[in-house]
Structure 1
């Protein structure tokens, strides 16, 4: 059967190209830098701001548009910097304010925008505000900045409600008052060292307006907002029978236990992104809807971001906010990117999708429809500092999904399969219209360090019994194959041990090597810009083989083979890029399983991708 007859079908428009004025974030590819693990300049084994500045040329050569920096603020590092003690200074571990200024200046010289993390849900327990709250006592204005409450029980010995920490254990900690007696309790949705702020207090809102302006004045181009859906809690802090988690997974082909409502729609596949889920197997009274948790996605968060939108507008139209909001369904997530709120929101539904054609089509289509409805670009992401790297996730039996962190005793991902599918998923992602986020090291094909000994893991979730921790995706990067510590540090020291086989992933082992993961990423980013894929639209190419997910975006056709058999490609299309080797059979080019290809039509007579209906 010839390629030109076996692959012809029809196209189904989904999302039109963007028109009118566009800001940089509408189409940007943003590269996440996790400062502890990117590059170390002083030999202490921990990455720092000068190390990042020295390596910014790598990002420019790779072809990204911006970098996002995870927290580098003053912090006791109980949660790797997400426990902030001073939002207006740099922790000595990472450098100085002058180093931050130099990084921003150098990035701008290279044409890179700079986005920094903001952590507004909680502070460190070492923050001046919290220390003042402990000293001031119950009923004080200092305590009113946080969520202090009296305990339940005859002596206040029980927590104020039954909320649990995302990291495991109680969500409340009791303090000892100045006179030595047991006192009030404070809420911490995460670690005990991360007390939640009370966003009903105007003083808290004014403080963060000031923090925004402090960094905007220093030239940053945007903010990634940590736990953006968690700032406002339901009045009265009522008990809740559900359970909160950072990430969760539904097995392929199965529905989650909660009611996903309009998440499934026509495609028949469940979203795999609940930030909060209800354990209905153990508690019949549990809330059914994932968004009903009284600590998540409360209506008041939207007024916070409308306020911040106005602050950023004071600095011109080119500053942006991106939400880390584990919210479903996608229509609820889209509320964060309405015209007067944030500018982007991470698409965890896409990150969580399995390597399954119906699920991929469903999440892409629903994402575009939800964001088109509010006039916002869709933001695609596959990996970050909180989840198993996607080059390993796709090598697990679940074939992707939003899996919890892995321990040394868990099944080891199939490295070859994971990388093959991971590269294919990346080309699918980068071919989509909108913006995209990359996590440091994915351009090298780095896998998760699943065999990292538990005793070396530093994630607070490990100590609190909340899981295996997220350290496996945070291991320092390999820059040079033959250097100590693979070139991460001049001393060879690394704060977490690197796997011995990472020499093959080092940057200098991949630069200029045809077919390497680095060169694939670099070529994809160049082509993405050349063909304006970020500002394009999407139309499904409906093929005879439903295992091939194919769509047109402008001049480019993207086809991902998720099935188990080769698929013939049309002979009137030029291959621009493939995630792996294509195959030749009887003079025809075929797309192998677990491979994605970008094609361009070469026949002016054919108006539809893969030919007319």
Structure 2
């Protein structure tokens, strides 16, 4: 096997890593066709290095009919021509390593495209064929098999079954173009171990496992109303999600990952009913990380945030895994909009996330303060959930609008022409170019925060927080190395009777009614290390609404 790693070796680098998600079609356009691609990603890798992240996660770029943004994979070892070639992918990996960045790629094991060779063969060979055993084909219910085999519904809305002309139905938990694999079949297990090795041999540092909780289905594919089969630890569990059999799959995968040098990892997209269930995916012989959706789904409320932080850390500690923290991704409304639309609140949420122990994920564009685009015309929508009744709300397109890089008008330096989804006309002030060098910009806030996180021993490290007394609506906790984080989640300014120490970084301006060493307001973005930025520790400090402050005792 080959090892192309030029990044600095580090044991367990992933435990406190900041990982940046790139959605390839919306990150950067290298050939001017309005669609992001691998050449565009490669050209912007220095930007990600300068931002200060440790690794880059690439959403799917595999050969695909693009029925679901590339999550319908036709060939797991080939690059879709819209993104480039396999040589382009190898160049991205090599350049990233030269810049000190690690690369994580998506793997989509729950389902493939209906254009995948295996599924096409299964359709062609008909009922009873060996090829159909690799998927979930069933006879229908009703007098003539006209009803779906069970009552399962697609995540995108409508039945989770589609009937073929030969009368049999096949299972797809997502779009009809995405048939689910049968993970009871040895050939499926062998194939994915081979796919892992293919990409590991090319030098990738790990995998983000799509729908990691969905691979194994309950025996007999029971209706969702079968009571006892749907109860687990007192929580309602669907018979197609979070089944215990998935853990055998990931134990097998871990043996493959451990064959390779360089701490290769796997990250689970696992939607589970509790943090304790998520932790089961992270036992020492399984995966390394799992996305913390319990945290992502928590509102801007101090007691709720404290509870989910404690629950997350408590659940991860027994299995020795780091907690992860995430605010946005390609499947959810951007957190600026989801938390109420305030840029101040989005900035405060980012500093809170980056102060917590464990690993943090940044979704492309959140470092620019991008809001969700909620007014896309129906005729430009591409999310399959938008076109199916009773499914997701169809707003996934709104978080996937291409990034603004420079200029006053669309396409804002994304490429030479237009963009596959239209950009808002008022994004000129949000471009990378406009924000670079502006000490009050969100981009410079992220750059400073990530630089401090890399250098300060109290940021990201460990697996505990020490909660401190604080006014109602305020979170305050201490991290190793004498770092204190305070978060005002209220809609009014709060006076701290005694500032915890010297301000390292604040998401908004601070002020003080009692004497300061200077009368000037504190900077929002630059590291506050000089004496003119220090608060008099004997005086009060007023922390504005929706503000997070990092202090050094």
Q: What TM-score does the superposition give when structure 1 sets the normalisation length? A: 0.82
| Cα distance change on mapping 1:196 and 1:516 into 2, 3 Å | same
* 1:52 aligns with one of 41, 45, 48: 41
**Counterparts in 2 of 1:571 and 1:357: CA distance versus 1, 3 Å:** closer
Matches within 5 A, 1:325-404: 325-395=270-340
Counterpart residue number, 1:267? none
Deviations 1:439-469 (A, max 9, x none): 0000000000011122211000011122224
CA distance in 2, matches of 1:540, 1:550: 8
Which sections of structure 2, spanning at least 5 residues, go unmatched?
1-9, 516-539
Q: CA RMSD in A?
A: 1.6
Q: Is the CA contact 1:240–1:287 (under 8 Å) kept in the aligned structure 2?
A: no
1:489 & 1:307 partners in 2: Cα distance? 42
Q: Contact 1:569/1:591 (CA < 8 Å) preserved in 2?
A: no
Q: Is the 8 A contact 1:481 1:504 kept in 2?
A: no
- Partner residue of 1:309 out of 249, 254, 270: 254
- Counterpart-to-counterpart distance in 2, 1:422 and 1:305: 35
The residue that corresponds to 1:10 in the other structure is none
Choose the corresponding residue for 1:70, options 59, 64, 71.
Answer: 59
User: 3-state DSSP class of the match of 1:229?
Assistant: coil
| CA deviation string 1:205-254 (max 9, x = no partner) | 00000000000000000000000000000010001149xxxxxxxxxxxx
> Of 13, 28, 53, which aligns to 2:17?
28
Question: Quick check: 71-80 or 445-454, which moved more?
Answer: 445-454
Counterpart pick for 2:351 among 421, 427, 443:
427
What is aligned with 1:228?
Answer: 212
Spell out, residue by residue over 1:264-296, the C-alpha distance to the aligned partner (whole angstroms, 9 max, x if none): xxxxxxxxxxxxxx9xxxxxx997955521000
Task: Say which SS state the counterpart of residue 319 (structure 2) adopts.
Answer: coil
Task: Give the Cα–Cα distance (whole angstroms) in 1 for the partners of residues 285 and 513 of structure 2.
Answer: 54
Q: Return the offset for 1:96.
A: 0.2
What is the Cα deviation at residue 535 of structure 1? 1.7
Instruction: Tell me the TM-score normalized by structure 2.
Output: 0.90
User: Is the Cα–Cα contact under 8 Å of residues 348 and 487 in structure 2 kept in the other structure?
Assistant: yes
Aligned length: 513
1:499 to 424, 441, 445: 424
Q: Secondary structure at the match of 1:500?
A: coil
Please point out which of 489, 492, 499 is paired with 1:562. 489
Dislocated runs of 4+, deviation >4 Å: 285-291
Specify the SS of the correspondent of 1:551.
strand
Q: Do the aligned residues in 1 keep the contact of 2:322 with 2:463 (CA within 8 Å)? A: no
Q: Distance in 1 between matches of 2:157 and 2:318?
A: 37
Tell me, in whole angstroms, the C-alpha distance in 2 between the residues paired with 1:207 and 1:567. 60
1:345-389 CA distance string (max 9 Å, x none): 000011111111110000001100100011111111000000000
Runs of 5+ unmatched residues, structure 1: 1-20, 178-182, 243-277, 279-284, 396-413, 602-613
Look up the SS of the partner of 2:411 in the other structure. Answer: helix
Aligned-partner Cα distance in 2 for 1:530–1:222: 25
Matched, 1:526 2:510: no
Contact 1:291 1:297 in 2 (8 A): no
> How far did 1:123 drift?
0.4
> Are the aligned partners of 2:105 and 2:207 in contact in 1 as well (CA < 8 Å)?
yes
2:241 match: secondary structure: coil
Give the aligned partner of residue 531 of structure 2.
Answer: none
| Distance in 2 between residues matched to 1:515 and 1:294, nearest whole Å | 49
* Aligned mate of 1:590, from 539, 542, 546: 542
